[in-house]
Amino acid sequence: MGSTVAWPASAGALCAVQKELAEERPPAWRAPAAAYSTGGCFVCFTRGIGGRGVPGEPGWAGAALALGARILSSAVIQGRAGASYDPGLLALREGPLLEAAVRALPRMPDVLLVNATGRDHPRRAGLALHLGAVLELPTIGVTHRPLVARGEWPSDQAGACSALLIGEEQVGCWLRTRRHTRPLAVHPGWRTGLDTACAVVLAASGRVRAPEPLREARRVARRARAGV
């Protein structure tokens, strides 16, 4: 049976879906002791428009599949932005493109890294969480900065983390994947908790700051854009 969660076409409908998703408590996924696959997805849009972008502008969504930090395969699709950029409503702009890119992979990953937030969101259901519900996959958001949450950076040690809070609620964390580099904002998404999210991101990061599946997804998306 496929997911009953869809991509709304209006801001009002999306807000309603986000509120419903925020209340869901599906069974938690935890990384198995055996090897598991990790996916990543990323979308970029045509150059030259700038600002918040516009509905209908060309976009390229990349997805990658990895075992640990080793890339196994990748896919890229071209489509169009569903909306301009609006914080908290990113699913309108990017959701269907990212779903299509992940579905274009040879097989679905066990867990998916998304360049978007999860509980760090005005309605506690960002695109990383929403995409997981649509795909029925455990997801983790990985971004360079938080959306709503705030928190101090952790110590300069690989694996160090510190809380990202909205009020007194922890919705994510800063995670230092390498010494002497800026930490990443890590967001539990669909069916993942904070400990699992951090473990997966560290395992997929290898010798670089960002997780390899996300790096590869970004690379193939931008390469496809450059080839147009």
pLDDT tens readout for residues 74-89: 999 999 999 999 999 9
Q: Does pLDDT of 69 surpass 90?
A: no
Mean pLDDT of 57-65: 97
pLDDT band at residue 220, thresholds of 50, 70 and 90? very high
Q: Does pLDDT of 40 surpass 60?
A: yes
pLDDT in tens, 7-23: 999 999 999 999 999 99
Report the chain's mean pLDDT, rounded to a whole number.
Answer: 95
What pLDDT shows up at residue 228? 64
What pLDDT shows up at residue 33? 87
Nearest Cα neighbor of 115 from 178, 9, 189, 7 is 189
Residue with the bigger pLDDT between 228 and 181: it is 181
Q: Does pLDDT of 1 surpass 60?
A: no
Mean pLDDT of 96-106: 98
Q: For residue 185, tell me if it sits in a domain.
A: yes
Q: Does pLDDT of 225 surpass 60?
A: yes
Q: Does pLDDT of 162 surpass 90?
A: yes
**Residue 207 lies in domain:** 36-226
Q: For residue 29, tell me if it sits in a domain.
A: no
Q: Does pLDDT of 51 surpass 60?
A: yes
Dist CA 71 CA 214 (whole Å)? 10
* Residue 173, number of CB atoms within 10 A of its CB: 26
Q: For residue 6, tell me if it sits in a domain.
A: no
pLDDT band at residue 194, thresholds of 50, 70 and 90? very high
Q: For residue 90, tell me if it sits in a domain.
A: yes
pLDDT band at residue 52, thresholds of 50, 70 and 90? confident
Q: For residue 48, tell me if it sits in a domain.
A: yes
Tally of structural domains, the chain: 1
Q: For residue 26, tell me if it sits in a domain.
A: no
Mean pLDDT of 135-150: 98
- Which CATH number is 109's domain given? 3.30.2170.10
What pLDDT shows up at residue 68? 87
Q: For residue 131, tell me if it sits in a domain.
A: yes
Q: For residue 82, tell me if it sits in a domain.
A: yes
